[in-house]
Amino acid sequence: MYFKNPENLVTGLELDPEKLQIANNCYASQSQKIAFKNELPENFSEFKSIVISKSINKEFEKEIHKLVAKQVQKVIILDEAYPYQWIVDSNFEILYRQNGVILLQKML
């Protein structure tokens, strides 16, 4: 997402300390527009899209639900086993579903 549009603000959430260290040591993480964290930021106001790459940790699941209900416009799911019916029920439509990738967009 960052390489496609360097103006995008990208925040990655990773709970595994080893994976977080690897992410923070990659070249792209040196940009001020990319941040990798092990906790959700306090200010979510700029999040318009989220990518879910695997099952969400239970402690963050409620926060993700709030984000989707409140302000997120697009959700990209990279885990075909992830149960996304709750997103559809939050007034989202499926734009793309193929090869284990699901793209949902909020209906206006």
Each residue's pLDDT tens digit, 2-42: 555 667 777 777 778 898 898 888 877 777 777 788 877 77
Q: Hey, what are 58's tokens? A: 């239970």
pLDDT tens, 42-77?
776 677 888 888 877 777 788 888 888 888 888 989
On the question of pLDDT at 96 being above 90, the answer is yes
Q: Where are the domains of the chain?
A: 1-39, 48-108
What is the pLDDT, as a whole number, of residue 6? Answer: 66
What is the pLDDT, as a whole number, of residue 85? Answer: 93
Fold of 48-108: Translation Initiation Factor IF3 (3.30.110)
3-state SS track over the chain: CCCCCCCCCEEEECCCHHHHHHHHCCHHHHCCCEEEECCCCCCCCCCCEEEECCCCCHHHHHHHHHHHHHCCCEEEECCCCCCCHHHHCCCEEEEEEECCEEEEEECC
pTM: 0.76
What is the pLDDT, as a whole number, of residue 69? Answer: 87
